[in-house]
Chains A and B, each alone.
Chain A
Amino acid sequence: MSTSLSQRPPIVTHASLPMVPTMARLIDRVQETSNTFTCRLEFVDPEAAARFRFYPGQFNMVYLFGVGEAAISISSDPDDLSSIQHTIRHVGSVTFAVSRLEVGDVLGIRGPFGSNWPLEACRGRDVLLVAGGIGIAPLRPAIYQILKHREQYGRLILLYGVRSPKDMIYREEVEAWSKRRDFQVMCTVDYPDPQWIGPVGVVTSLMRRVRLDSARTSVLVCGPRVMNREAAHSFLSHHVPEEHIFVSLERNMRCGIGQCGHCQYGPKFVCKDGPVFSYDSVRTMFSKEEV
């Protein structure tokens, strides 16, 4: 199971004002694709930097002066706290404003928030990661952790689907992972270009190519809504236990602390009960439209 509220890392914010962000400076920026970039951030206040820890799968609220806040998952290694990385696709006003920042500029951070990938519960089991598009960002900290303690896990498989080859993020890292003998990486695209020699189709179509030992497999899924649903149902039909299918969900969030109500999902608040849910905890709502 993912960690309960009380076991989570402390939220770095002003103690008396939970909505006030802490300043962080942009120290590096990598363009991943035409609309996606990874930024490295460093807290301006060393005290905040010293306090900040996170678990794989958690997110921060990223604040841009005069623009607003957006919930963005943390995509760096939890053991490397020299900086925090966020991989961001510019789609809205906040993410667009972040994309215009230059090295040295300052933004605000509140976090970390939310539940985490249950790496403890995955120990001794095969781990299958399913990522769609930018959904690989919240999975990357989990990949770092599993690779670091590789002997504690069984097989490690990543199924990664993107729209076209040029939309692949963390390209060099994914290539390096795929060369490892202890990490099976399969990528697929919806729209191939002439150089693409891999599989074509949605990411769930890659499941046919994987031989699952269902009872001893844990699945971590993060992608668009339709993909999450397809993937979860496909694993269920392959008899992966419900409590070992984990899905990271995305919703409109304004506060991160269960007070704005936007991210409600039945009785759950995605910001604090999620974003990572085990399938059995959301089963009754998972296939319903517009919940």
Chain B
Amino acid sequence: MRRDGMFAVAKDQLDPLICELAHDGYTVIGPTIRDGAITYDEITSAAMLPRGWTQETDGGHYRLKRRTDDACFGFVVGPHSLKRYLFPSRLKLFSVTRDGQGGFSPDVEPPPAPKYAFVGVRSCDLAAVAVQDMVFNSEMPDPYYRQVREQMFVVAVNCAEPGGTCFCSSMDTGPRCSAGYDLAITELSTSFAMEVGSERGQAMLERVRHEEADANARHLVDLMMSTAAKHNMGRSLDTADLPEILMSNLEHRQWDQAGNRCLACANCTLVCPTCFCNNIYDRTDLSGDHADRYRNWGSCFALEFTYHTGGYIRSSRRARYRQWLTHKLASWHGQFGTSGCVGCGRCITWCPVGIDITVEATAIADDVRESLKRHGSGTKTEEADV
């Protein structure tokens, strides 16, 4: 039976939890430090977590910093998200071999999908998985994605200290995890407050030392979360009527501003936990009798992304930036009924020139809203189809 409510778990129980997950055959993935950033990697003990570290983020800026305490999860998201495990940057879809009679036969065995347990997943990233589900796990499911998705175990972490580029509370995706986890941790000064999100999570909780949390702990978690949401977000975005405004102002001068600064480097699409565009191509061996069909991450910032017989559809960087931003904040609603942005702030942090999605969208929206107020409705917007 799944038990509702909150449990107090001592911090030294994190290591047994990781061991129990490994014991069940999970490859345990958690935050680690590599190349001066918090990155996801395989972990075998709680000692591998970046304990006592936090980060300083801003547009085009990311630095790890020592904390004054030794919190286990005192940082927020790094450049990695669950995307790299569910939708790997490079995946062999299938192989094809010539059959010697002019034909070929595809190997239809689905590729083996690892069984992952993710530790330290933030609310924005769980929301991002729900967004990518609509792409890869809907009417024509991607078999690899579906399998990893179905067998994964999630130990989520609520963000009490959002980062400098975070705006999940604007996107209604955090900072508290609301779904998609098996266990969710809120780190208090001396212990973890743990919530259970599934039967599997419940079973796992039973295998570590825990007790019912008292009313004070519950109250404290509520307070920490509401404070984080209200006062600690580094960025914010007013999303009311934003899809309509953006789609009806595709010629706004602000697009030139961003387009002039954008390097079309594709960093934002690589770190974005929801970006799903990809390229599919064949790799043959030297004999020419065997081909592997691969899927790589693609990016709408690449010029060749829209190449076809008639040339490039989006040849200017302005158009490519506009495509990316309007897709995230506007046309995603038309495609999937939700925003494509979860407010994790990665695209701001990892943009080499510090272009800020919240600033760009707000500049257009404020200008249009202001002008509507001055001239009455209908003067500045054409009809929008989002």
Contact = CB atoms under 8 A, between A and B. Distances in A.
Given A44-B103, A250-B310, A258 B135 contact: yes
Given A285-B385, A290-B314, A262 B306 contact: yes
Interface stretch (A50-58, A61-69, A152-160): A61-69
A258 B382 CA distance: 27
Interface in B125-152: 135-136, 139-143
A91 interface: yes
A281 to B, nearest CB: 7
B189 to A, nearest CB: 44
Interface stretch (B30-38, B221-229, B275-283, B357-365): B275-283
A282 B384 CA distance: 10
B382 A284 contact: yes
Interface string B332-350: 1111000000000000000
Contact of A264 (B108, B247, B331): B331
B237 interface: no
A23 B280 contact: no
A69 B110 contact: no
Interface residues of B, number: 63
A19 B305 contact: no
Contact of B278 (A20, A69, A261): A261
A28 to B, nearest CB: 16
Nearest to A288: B250
B135 A267 contact: no
Interface in B233-247: 247
B142 A259 contact: yes
Contacts of B248: 284
B309 interface: yes
Nearest to A262: B305
Contacts of B250: 285, 288, 291
User: Which residue among B102, B248, B386 has the maximum number of chain A CB atoms within 10 Å of its CB?
Assistant: B102
Contact of B140 (A44, A108, A257, A262): A257
Contacts of B94: 17, 19-20
Interface residues of A, number: 51
Interface in A48-104: 65-69, 89, 91-92, 104
Contacts of A67: 282
A164 B334 CA distance: 42
Contacts of A20: 93-94, 106, 108
Contacts of A210: none
A290 B319 contact: yes
A65 B291 contact: yes
B277 A261 contact: yes
Contact of B310 (A105, A224, A288): A224
B313 interface: yes
A47 B232 CA distance: 60
A251 B385 contact: no
B140 A260 contact: no
B143 A17 contact: yes
A269 B331 CA distance: 10
Given A20-B108, A66-B282, A267-B331, A252 B385 contact: no
Task: Give 5 nearest A-B pairs by CB, closest first.
Answer: A267-B334, A261-B277, A290-B319, A267-B331, A106-B103
5 contacts: A23-B105, A66-B284, A68-B280, A252-B308, A267-B331
Interface of A: 5, 11, 14, 16-21, 23, 25, 44, 65-69, 89, 91-92, 104-106, 108, 224-225, 250-252, 254-255, 257-262, 264, 266-269, 281-285, 288-291
Given A23-B103, A91-B309, A250-B310, 15 more contacts: A17-B93, A17-B143, A18-B141, A19-B94, A21-B106, A92-B309, A106-B102, A259-B140, A260-B279, A262-B305, A282-B385, A284-B248, A284-B382, A290-B316, A290-B319
